[in-house]
Amino acid sequence: MTSENTALAIDLTQAILEQFWQQDTTLLLKYMDEDFSLTDALNHYIIQGQQQVCGFMPTATSDIIKSRLTDKLFIIAQNCGSACTVIGKYTLTPISDADDMLYMKQYCVFVWELSRQGELKLKHIGVTKPDSTSESDYGSAFNSALITQGSALHQQSRSSDRMIITDTDDCTRFIPRNDILYATSDGRNCQICCFSGKINARINISSFVEKAGEKFVLIHRCYAINLDHITLLKPYCVVMSNGSELPVPVKRYSEIKQLLTELLSNK
């Protein structure tokens, strides 16, 4: 795409999100392509098709707390041929002045494609759960990002939902599991890829998966992924919510596809 098209894709991505958090999906529906897909991070499944996504929108917006996007950063992660991928991070700031609301960060990936008529069409949206929250903190809204403070249960969940890792510099790291996208093997150690950066950890990939918990799955002998951050499975790779594409062995593709489908359907 040209620089003008990618700049427009960034602007539209931001505008769609800003409208969504005002319970307005007009712009999203305008640019949504017929084969559009949406990753529902709350319920752990992918909604495919314009009609199905449109049917989901009333549920997605019904209970959200109206918020502004602050501390925004949107960039082009990939630009190839007629398609580009926009990734972003932002803080959801409630419009309400209530003192018990918690401002939360969220991350997104938008996949855009240029049609034969030269118009931008939205092909896919993936968004993460808010940072450092458990599933029990969510209502029925699509990725509701605001929770009330002062809950002992919530505080316990936040503190226990961290991994304690020793890195290769012998520093002890306390990593929120929801910040981890995936880990990749580096011989006897592994590199942990987080939204906040990469960590070279003094732990092998098998031990990492065991320690990380049930949300993490090996898709390759060298790659373990966080189920909460999958946006797409295609031959022969998994696409994560930051746009990273991780390989799936050709001979194990059907097996991995079935495994991921079962795990995400049962969540």
Taking only the tens of pLDDT, the chain with its 267 residues reads 888 888 899 999 999 999 988 888 889 999 999 889 887 666 566 788 888 888 888 877 777 788 888 888 899 888 888 899 999 888 888 876 554 455 678 888 999 999 888 899 999 998 887 664 433 333 333 333 333 333 333 333 343 478 888 989 888 888 888 889 999 998 889 999 988 788 999 999 999 998 888 889 999 989 999 998 888 888 889 998 888 899 999 999 999 999 888 888 765
Cα–Cα distance for residue pair 84/113, rounded to 1 Å: 6
Provide the residue type at 96 as one letter: S
Per CATH, 3-137 and 161-265 having the same topology is answered no
- Domain ranges in the chain are 3-137, 161-265
* pLDDT confidence of residue 14: 92
Cα–Cα distances in angstroms (integers) from residue 89 to residues 128, 150, 257, 260, in the given order: 10, 26, 28, 26
2.40.50.1020, 3.30.1460.30, 3.30.470.30, 3.40.250.10: CATH of 161-265: 2.40.50.1020
Whole-number pLDDT of residue 39:
79
Q: What's the chain's length in residues? A: 267
Residue 36, φ and ψ in degrees, nearest 5: -60, 145
Identify the pLDDT of residue 208.
92
Span 3-137 CATH architecture: Roll (3.10)
Q: pTM score, two decimals?
A: 0.50
Separation of alpha carbons 1 and 9, rounded Å: 10
Strand order in the sheet with 230-234: 230-234, 237-240, 245-247
Burial (CB count <10 Å: 0-12, 13-18, 19+), residue 170? exposed
- Enter the tokens of residue 23: 């319970």
Residue 255 is encoded by which pair of tokens? 């097996």
